[in-house]
Amino acid sequence: MPFKTAQIRLVSSHSEVYEPCDDSFALVDALLADRSNLIEHKPKFCMEVGCGSGYVITSLALLLGHEFHGIHYFATDTNPHAVRVTRETMEAHGVHAELISTDIASGLEKRLAGLVDIMVVNPPYVPTPEDEVGREGIISAWAGGEDGRSVIDRILPVADNLLSRKGWLYLVTLESNHPLQLCLQMRERGYASRIVVQRSTDEESLHIIKFWRNFDKE
């Protein structure tokens, strides 16, 4: 398995599924940069919420070395086309994740609570009118409602529930999502955070944030 990350030519596509873009690449860059830490972390379960084309979960599986080391992957998406496309992308790269069509982690929350060691999320973060949130099709890939926070704010408590004691969350955000405020909110839940990748394009300023449980607080 010579690939370190997913190859675009092997990533499957569909008209209603979000294609890998700057935000996907930035998230994978963050994971690549943290690779030795991730491997040392010895995660058991890794999960992506909102897998889209499968580019990120595939890259994560490749860069960690899938399955041989007892690492297992889950990925979810509310868009049924996305889940199918992800399956094709993973198959093309020779990696495997358990895929579930669901809203965030609905159905998994009770049993998988406290078991996820790595969670990666590239959420719908674009500020849009509220009524665009949760619509079917490709719009669900970006429509984030007020300040682009509607879906992010639903994901964070789920992440808090699923993450293990040593769990790490990597989250893609925009400047418009008020990332510093987000970090403060997560601090209330007992998480430390760091902006691991910052990338500005003409249109947007991306912040990839890494969260982990802070046990140092006395």
Partner 1 sequence: MRLLTHNMLSSNVKGVTNGFPLGIEVEKVVEKQVELSADFLINIFSKIEWKALVDASRAVGYAELPDQADASMLDSDEFLRKFHHALLELHLEEGALLCPETGRRFPVNKGIPNMLLHEDEV
Footprint of partner 1 (CB under 8 A): 44, 67-72, 74, 78, 80, 83-84, 87, 96, 98-103, 106-112, 115
Closest distance between partner 1 and the C-beta of residue 117, in Å? 11
Q: Which is nearer to partner 1, 27 or 97 (CB)?
A: 97
Q: Which is nearer to partner 1, 43 or 144 (CB)?
A: 43
Q: Is residue 108 a contact partner of residue 102, using CB atoms and an 8 Å limit?
A: yes
Q: Is residue 121 a contact partner of residue 51, using CB atoms and an 8 Å limit?
A: no
Closest distance between partner 1 and the C-beta of residue 41, in Å? 14
Closest distance between partner 1 and the C-beta of residue 73, in Å? 11
Q: How far is CA 153 from the centre of its chain?
A: 14
Three-state secondary structure of the chain: CCCCCCCHHHCCCCCCCCCCCHHHHHHHHHHHHCHHHHHHHCCCEEEEECCCCCHHHHHHHHHHCCCCCCCEEEEEECCHHHHHHHHHHHHHHCCCCEEEECCCCCCCCCCCCCCEEEEEECCCCECCCHHHCCCCCHHHHCECCHHHCHHHHHHHHHHHHHEEEEEEEEEEEEHHHCHHHHHHHHHHCCEEEEEEEEEECCCCEEEEEEEEECCCCC
Q: Which is nearer to partner 1, 89 or 193 (CB)?
A: 89
Closest distance between partner 1 and the C-beta of residue 84, in Å? 7
Q: Which is nearer to partner 1, 72 or 178 (CB)?
A: 72
Residues contacting 128, CB < 8 A, separation 6+: 142, 143, 144, 145, 148
Q: Which is nearer to partner 1, 96 or 178 (CB)?
A: 96
Q: Which is nearer to partner 1, 84 or 178 (CB)?
A: 84
Closest distance between partner 1 and the C-beta of residue 216, in Å? 26
Closest distance between partner 1 and the C-beta of residue 19, in Å? 20
